[in-house]
Amino acid sequence: MSKSKEPVARFRVGFVTAAVWENEKFYNVTLQKSYKDDGEYKNTDSLGHGDLLNAAKALTRAEEWISQQ
């Protein structure tokens, strides 16, 4: 049983990152967007219109990586 506290892969496009997590024999993917607030970097799972193509590209890369495992 493999439970990782860190993602097994990350795919960043622009400010959007798709993280791949291994859960036993399966993979899950989470999306986050980085942004700067008062000089400090933060993350959110809320995406704006301008983030959608980057999210699609990051998810495509994650799907390709998972398919090769």
- Quick one: DSSP state of residue 5? S
Q: Which sign does the torsion angle of CA 3, 31, 20, 40 carry?
A: negative
- DSSP H helical segments within the chain, as ranges? 52-67
- pLDDT, one tens digit per residue, over 1-58 is 455 589 999 999 999 999 999 998 899 999 999 999 999 999 999 999 999 999 999 9
pTM of the predicted structure, to 2 decimals:
0.87
Q: Do 43 and 51 meet the contact criterion of CB atoms below 8 Å apart? A: no
State residue 4's pLDDT score. Answer: 52
State residue 3's pLDDT score. Answer: 53
Q: Do 24 and 36 meet the contact criterion of CB atoms below 8 Å apart? A: no
**Neighbouring residues of 34: CB distance < 8 A, sequence distance ≥ 6:** 15, 17, 41, 42, 43
State the Cα–Cα distance between residues 47 and 64, nearest whole angstrom: 22
Average pLDDT of 61-67?
Answer: 98
